[in-house]
Amino acid sequence: RREAAERHAREPAETADGVAVKVLVNIDDPAILETLDPAICDGVGLTRTEFLFKDGSPDEAAQLDFYRRLIAWADGRAVTIRTLDAGGDKPIPGITIDGEANPFLGVRGVRLSLARPDVFRTQLRALARAAADAPVPLKVMVPMVTVPAELEAARAILAEEVARLEGEGIPCAMPILGTMIEVPAAALTAADFDAGFYSIGSNDLVQYVTASARDNSAVAALADPLNPAVLELIARTVAAGAAGGVEVSLCGDMASSPRLAGTLLKAGLRVFSAAPAEVAAVKAAIREARTGADG
């Protein structure tokens, strides 16, 4: 079955009832770019930039180098890069706050980026420079956003850095700025965000909706992506996107699970972003699924 799916990995995904679905890929390790064929996917839906920070904060040039390499690899396909999502399950020495009582509910993701403007500005400058020579507009997304003011704060800092680069005569462009939807408050108020796109982070969304830590196996049964409350928030986010003309993708592990493809399609999802090893199997599951309630 897997071999059969792999044979069709480079073909686009269309459901059994003829609906086109995009399948993007998640990148969390630069080494994969050496071996992964971009033709299996419709672009990059999530780049976890935390790996860049494993030996301390990389400078602007080092980040720019990787972002350019990723854009070149994608060969004209859309690329989405997430700003640093440190904290919670992704502690980064020197950046995350030691000894925080409840790190998953504390200063992580965009909260930490806004608390560390030095780190954030360097990353945004590198992203704005990478956007300058991207063949399709670069998408940048912000993790752990809870309220619109956080996205606006990120946008303001990005715009300041773009203006500063322009003043320095350095080629740059304003990327499309989107928000992750992984906090229930954001899922319930998605329409209030002035976002270029929404990307549902189901791993954290499931954790926060079910109050079950994603790294605690004792509560794994409760951290159920099929909990109706989770599916309701996904459907609402998709509906908010449709109403506002904003693209909605899902980049959490749910999108990498072939057995969940039919459920996500019925929730209205049309853009999946999956782990590289699962792209072919997810496409195969989409081809067998129907989008209608009778399927």
Question: Which positions lie near ligand PEP, rule CB under 6 A?
Answer: 46, 48, 85, 182, 201-204, 251-252
Contact call for residues 280 and 40 (beta carbons, < 8 A): yes
Pick 174 or 206: Cβ nearer ligand PEP: 206
> Bridge-partner residues for 160, per DSSP?
none
Residues in 2-61 at the binding interface with Mg ion, rule: CB under 5 A: none
Catalytic, 251? Answer: yes
Residues 205-224 as b or e (16 or more Cβ within 10 Å = b): bbbbbbebbbeeeeeeeebe
The answer on whether 3 is annotated among ligand-binding residues is no
Q: What angle do CA 86, 87, 88 make, to 5 degrees?
A: 135
Pick 201 or 241: Cβ nearer ligand PEP: 201
- Identify what 202 binds: ligand PEP, Mg ion, none; CB under 5 to 8 Å per kind: ligand PEP
Stretch that binds Mg ion, among 52-60, 118-126, 166-174, 179-187 (CB under 5 A): 179-187
User: Binding to Mg ion by residue 276, rule CB under 5 A?
Assistant: no
What DSSP line would sit under 90-127, residue for residue?
Answer: B--TTTSPTT-SSGGGSS-THHHHHH-HHHHHHHHHHH
Pick 204 or 278: Cβ nearer ligand PEP: 204
**Angstrom distance (rounded) from CA 79 to CA 43:** 6
- Identify what 246 binds: ligand PEP, Mg ion, none; CB under 5 to 8 Å per kind: none
The answer on whether 203 is annotated among ligand-binding residues is yes
> Bridge-partner residues for 190, per DSSP?
none
Where in the sequence numbering do the catalytic residues fall?
A: 251
Annotated binding-site ranges for phosphoenolpyruvate:
48, 82, 203-204, 214
